[in-house]
Amino acid sequence: DALKRLITVLASATTEMSKQNTDLSHKLAQSSQEMEKLRTSLRRARAEALTDALTGIANRKLFDETLRLRKEEADNEKTDLALLLCDIDHFKSFNDTWGHQTGDQVIRFVASALTKFALPDHLVARYGGEEFAVIMPRTTLKDAGRIADQIRSAIEAKRLVRRSTNETIGAVTVSFGAAMYAAGETVGQLITRADECLYMSKRNGRNRVTLETQMPPLATNAA
């Protein structure tokens, strides 16, 4: 009888332990699922924080972070780093004529064209308003200019249609400025030189690419 009671107690304890282990396994699995959901939510939140809501490309914050990191990389590895700045020509007038929704359509179209021609390690970002930037590691100024001109030509060749009414909007053009990172300078100095090249493209009639090597002497001071 004592042996039977012992066996019964052990069996009961084993059953209870098995149940506890099963419950613990379920809780661990549930906890693991909740942790994965949390990680996914955090990844999504970070992606949203670094992405432009209208276009889906990088926003200004991610641009600033990436340019700083690419500058350090260029310094450490002695590699090329080019920067393109791009602006939609006469965008304010276009927006006033066709409205903000159509203006947003054009911004998305330009962002798509930039992304299509950029190389895999390039970063395309919305710099602000109708202005975009492309960070181009391991890219020469000549290649940066070639890519910019491909983008410019593709955008100019497209005839846009207003989605809400199917009206033909016509062609949109963009202007570019391109500069190369010079060892030891700040990212602000690089951006300023690219912006001066963009300004020169606009001053010379827009719908063109200006490389910093094409800038006239003392153009920086004059600007």
Q: Is residue 209 a part of any domain in this protein?
A: yes
* Whether 72 and 37 share a structural domain: no
* Whether 199 and 95 share a structural domain: yes
The catalytic position among 34, 36, 77, 130 is 130
Place of tokens 């090329």: 80
18: domain range? 1-49
Contacts 24+ apart (CB under 8 A), 63-70: 63/123, 63/125, 63/127, 63/133, 63/135, 64/187, 66/123, 66/125, 66/135, 67/135, 67/187, 67/190, 67/191, 68/187, 70/135, 70/137
Q: Is residue 33 a part of any domain in this protein?
A: yes
* Whether 125 and 175 share a structural domain: yes
Q: CA-CA distance, 103 to 44, in Å (whole number)? A: 27
Whole-number pLDDT of residue 220: 46
* Whether 41 and 67 share a structural domain: no
Identify residue 196 by its one-letter amino acid code. E
Q: Is the pLDDT confidence value at 137 over 80?
A: yes
pTM: predicted TM-score of the whole model, two decimal places = 0.79
Mean pLDDT in residue range 141-159: 97
What CATH number does the domain containing 169 carry?
Answer: 3.30.70.270
Q: Is residue 80 a part of any domain in this protein?
A: yes
pLDDT in tens, 53-69: 999 999 999 999 999 99
Whether residue 130 lies in the annotated active site: yes
Q: Which residue in 191, 200, 193 sits closest to 63, CA to CA?
A: 191
* Whether 138 and 94 share a structural domain: yes
Q: Is residue 54 a part of any domain in this protein?
A: no
For 165, the token pair is: 């009414």
* Whether 81 and 45 share a structural domain: no
Measure the CA angle with vertex 94, ends 90 and 96; round to 5°: 120
Alpha helices in the chain (DSSP H): 2-49, 60-77, 91-98, 100-117, 141-157, 187-203, 219-222
Q: Is residue 98 a part of any domain in this protein?
A: yes
* Whether 112 and 19 share a structural domain: no
Of 22-26, 40-44, 49-53, 73-77, the least confident: 40-44
Whole-number pLDDT of residue 151: 98
pLDDT in tens, 40-54: 666 766 777 899 999
138 contacts 199 by C-beta, under 8 angstroms:
no
* Whether 67 and 12 share a structural domain: no
* Whether 44 and 125 share a structural domain: no
* Whether 108 and 200 share a structural domain: yes
Q: Is residue 55 a part of any domain in this protein?
A: no
Q: Number of structural domains, the chain?
A: 2
* Whether 86 and 113 share a structural domain: yes
* Whether 13 and 104 share a structural domain: no
Cβ neighbours of residue 108 closer than 8 Å, sequence gap 6 or more? 54, 55
